[in-house]
């Protein structure tokens, strides 16, 4: 990745760049020396601390930036959660979004007219889990967790990649969010989506975002001159497949894609609702991975994308 591209990405102040690392340990591509070198560079970014942490590697994003970044459905989905339902935040960094949700700050930010409040399931909030590959908790996290009446209200998990968690460990969730976390950084998009949708309840929704990607409808070009999009997919025939098209080819999901061209770089945000349990994710093979915040990635579609009636 060029220094120009890295510098430009550091200017995005509202997007969180914390990663939950997801990759296939036996990938033939990852065994290639050049590929492994980039993976090692990327891992150094994830593990960086203090002044060594790149300026663009934001770990303290709050719930307000989630509302600004993700589709409008995210805020509505979170507000609709009842006390027996659950929210997972992938790539949570310090877990500030979960802290905001669990405290009175959320109620102030989401104050609504009485008529609207009557239609929402208010009272006790849903249980929330913040997930990070590194332990980024602050004293504020520990103080807030200790002050809650229910010690299971919020939880912070770390120390291993998403692919290593089992359903027995985490359970299922009604809402999953990822603001420039694993979805933007993973080497293995297929595995990431299989795991994420596996943790999602039927009729639950996954909200996420990508920077500098060819949008579903807009004729946008790569943000950086003489560069590729940050994430690209090619078919076996060599033609381009847009990210939104690939997501819509997953069985048992309904996908909405929205392009935000006024961002710098532009972003595309996704709402992915799970409609049934028979999820099948078309296989993508990584062909290029170049370390960055986020990395530049290219994939090859190795199995035909399916058009199903089960979405």
Question: pLDDT tens-digit profile of 156-176?
Answer: 999 888 888 999 999 999 999
Which fold is adopted by the domain 3-109+118-301? Answer: Rossmann fold (3.40.50)
Which residue is it, tokens 């033939």?
Answer: 28
At residue 60, the pLDDT reads 83
At residue 34, the pLDDT reads 76
Q: How does residue 57 score in pLDDT terms, banded at 50, 70 and 90? A: low
Q: What percent of the chain has pLDDT over 70?
A: 79
**Whether the predicted pLDDT of 20 surpasses 50:** no
Lowest mean pLDDT among 106-120, 190-204, 237-251: 106-120
Lowest mean pLDDT among 48-52, 57-61, 109-113, 142-146: 109-113
**pLDDT: which is higher, 139 or 52:** 139
Cβ-based neighbours of 22, under 8 Å, separated by 6 or more: 161, 162, 163, 182, 186, 187, 188, 191, 192, 195
Residue 181's closest CA among 133, 113, 215? 133
At residue 127, the pLDDT reads 97
Give the integer Cα–Cα distance in Å for 286 and 188: 7
**Whether the predicted pLDDT of 113 surpasses 50:** no
Question: pLDDT tens-digit profile of 219-252?
Answer: 899 999 999 999 999 999 999 999 999 999 999 9
**Whether the predicted pLDDT of 64 surpasses 50:** yes
Across residues 83-97, what is the average pLDDT? 96
Q: What is the pTM (predicted TM-score) of this model?
A: 0.84
Give the integer Cα–Cα distance in Å for 265 and 210: 10
Q: How does residue 304 score in pLDDT terms, banded at 50, 70 and 90? A: low
**Whether the predicted pLDDT of 146 surpasses 60:** yes
**Whether the predicted pLDDT of 19 surpasses 50:** no
At residue 109, the pLDDT reads 64
Question: pLDDT tens-digit profile of 198-227?
Answer: 999 999 999 999 999 999 987 899 999 999
Average pLDDT, rounded, for the chain: 83
**pLDDT: which is higher, 287 or 28:** 287
Report CA Rg, the chain.
19
**Whether the predicted pLDDT of 16 surpasses 50:** no
**Strand blocks (E) in the chain:** 86-90, 127-131, 154-157, 173-178, 200-211, 231-234, 240-241, 253-260, 267-274, 284-290, 296-301
**Whether the predicted pLDDT of 117 surpasses 80:** no
């Amino acid at each position: 990745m060029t220094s120009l591209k890295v510098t430009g990405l550091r200017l995005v102040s509202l997007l969180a760049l914390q990663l939950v690392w997801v990759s296939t340990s036996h990938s033939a591509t990852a065994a290639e020396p050049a590929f492994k070198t980039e993976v090692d560079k990327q891992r150094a970014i994830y593990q960086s601390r203090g002044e060594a942490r790149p300026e663009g590697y934001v770990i303290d994003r709050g719930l307000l930036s989630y509302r600004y970044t993700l589709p409008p459905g995210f805020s509505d989905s979170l507000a609709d959660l009842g006390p027996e339902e659950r929210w997972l935040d992938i790539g949570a960094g310090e877990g500030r979004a979960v802290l905001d949700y669990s405290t009175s700050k959320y109620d102030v930010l989401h104050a609504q007219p009485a008529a609207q409040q009557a239609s929402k399931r208010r009272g006790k909030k849903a249980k929330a889990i913040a997930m990070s590959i590194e332990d980024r908790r602050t004293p504020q996290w520990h103080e807030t967790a200790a002050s809650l009446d229910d010690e299971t209200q919020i939880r912070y998990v770390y120390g291993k990649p998403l692919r290593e968690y089992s359903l027995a460990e985490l359970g299922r969730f009604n809402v999953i969010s990822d603001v420039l976390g694993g979805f933007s950084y993973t080497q293995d998009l297929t595995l990431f989506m299989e795991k994420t949708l596996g943790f999602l309840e039927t009729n639950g929704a996954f909200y996420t975002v990508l920077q500098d990607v060819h949008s579903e409808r807009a004729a946008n070009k790569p943000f950086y001159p003489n560069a590729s999009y940050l994430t690209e997919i090619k078919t076996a025939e060599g033609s381009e497949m847009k990210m939104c098209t690939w997501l819509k080819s997953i069985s048992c999901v309904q996908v909405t894609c929205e392009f935000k061209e006024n961002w710098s770089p532009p972003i595309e945000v996704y709402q992915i609702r799970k409609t049934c349990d028979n999820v099948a994710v078309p296989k993508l093979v990584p062909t290029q991975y170049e370390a960055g915040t986020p990395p530049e990635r290219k994939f090859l579609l190795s199995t035909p994308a399916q058009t199903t009636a089960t979405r």
